[in-house]
Amino acid sequence: MPEVSRSLYFPKTAKVEIHEIRDGIYRISGFVDDYGITFNQFLVNDEQPTLIHTGPIGMYEQIEQKVKEVIPLEKLAYVAFLHFESDEWGGMEFLKAPRARLVCSDLSSKLNLTGWANVPADHTSFWDNETLSTGRRKFRFIMTPHVHHWDSMMIFEETTKSLFPSDLFIQPGNNKPVMSDDLSDNMIKLYQAVGIFASEKPVRQTVERLAKLRPEMIYPMHGSCFDSSLFSKYAHALMKNQFAYTGMLLGQKLEVS
């Protein structure tokens, strides 16, 4: 059995950077060598500022510092996580901010937030297509079960047509905050190597639904942001390639025979 150091999973050494992408939406990103991907958080600076994903706890101090470059923590109104995983909301410390309220899917609420002793129970959950106004911005919650977790959801900000797809449209590497290069082949190879999707079907159903929203900017949790000109390429790659789990987990073959 391998010895595991928490430091591998709580990467305090990752250098975290912040860039405004557009429309008061900031990408707070750190590259983690062990995984070869960036971990991105998004701060939507509105009358009621919202943080989408918190990052793993090891990055917390740096991410908090970057949030404070834009707003005082006292202003932070919502902290949204899109499925129950440590990189999505390991930074629960943000909930110590006086106004910060946890936001999640109804499934995350029922499956995860109401059954643990030391997990904050106070939160607001959303069913599919419900919305939250934060001032000028309006978030629509899209339930995307099994892309890649049971409780997964995405957020579509309607006034700027911004899509926050969590782990969909992932790209490896430490690239620019916004990219115009098509890395969809790399995305497919990464999905094949890490095994995060049990099957293509729910992913493709979601891709078709997202296409109807006509997103103008896409903010993946891992990789670069890209605009509508690349969306169709990434969507096409997911529609035509096989990428579901076939025995590879985080780059390692699982021998089950």
In the complex, what is the shortest distance from the CB of residue 166 to Fe ion, in angstroms, rounded to a whole number? 6
DSSP, collapsed to helix, strand or coil, labels residue 243 as coil
CB closer to Fe ion, 49 vs 220: 220
HSE-CB of 72 using CA atoms within 13 angstroms: 4
Non-local (6+) Cβ contacts of 90 within 8 A are 10, 54, 55, 56, 57, 58, 60
Q: Does 85 bind Fe ion (CB under 5 A)?
A: yes
CB closer to Fe ion, 102 vs 147: 147
Place of tokens 């410390």: 93
Phi and psi, residue 82, nearest 5°: -100, -15
In the complex, what is the shortest distance from the CB of residue 85 to Fe ion, in angstroms, rounded to a whole number? 4
In the complex, what is the shortest distance from the CB of residue 179 to Fe ion, in angstroms, rounded to a whole number? 18
How far is it, in rounded angstroms, from Cα 256 to Cα 74?
A: 50
How far is it, in rounded angstroms, from Cα 140 to Cα 256?
A: 41
Non-local (6+) Cβ contacts of 72 within 8 A are none
CB closer to Fe ion, 41 vs 48: 41
Tell me which stretch binds Fe ion (CB under 5 A): 41-49, 130-138, 167-175, 180-188.
Answer: 167-175
Binding test (CB under 5 A) with Fe ion, winner from 46, 64, 151, 167: 167
Q: Which of residues 190-229 bind Fe ion (CB under 5 A)?
A: 221
CB closer to Fe ion, 46 vs 63: 63
In the complex, what is the shortest distance from the CB of residue 65 to Fe ion, in angstroms, rounded to a whole number? 21
CB 82 within 8 Å of CB 74: no
In the complex, what is the shortest distance from the CB of residue 87 to Fe ion, in angstroms, rounded to a whole number? 5
Q: Which of 173, 175, 138, 144 is nearest to 157 (CA)?
A: 138
Place of tokens 């903010």: 219
CB closer to Fe ion, 135 vs 249: 249
In the complex, what is the shortest distance from the CB of residue 40 to Fe ion, in angstroms, rounded to a whole number? 9
DSSP, collapsed to helix, strand or coil, labels residue 154 as strand
Max Cα-Cα span within the chain:
56
Tell me which stretch binds Fe ion (CB under 5 A): 10-18, 87-95, 186-194, 248-256.
Answer: 87-95
CB closer to Fe ion, 46 vs 87: 87
In the complex, what is the shortest distance from the CB of residue 196 to Fe ion, in angstroms, rounded to a whole number? 7
CB closer to Fe ion, 48 vs 108: 108
Structure tokens at 168: 């969909």
Q: Which of residues 113-152 bind Fe ion (CB under 5 A)?
A: none
- Per CB under 5 A, residues contacting Fe ion are 85, 87, 167, 221
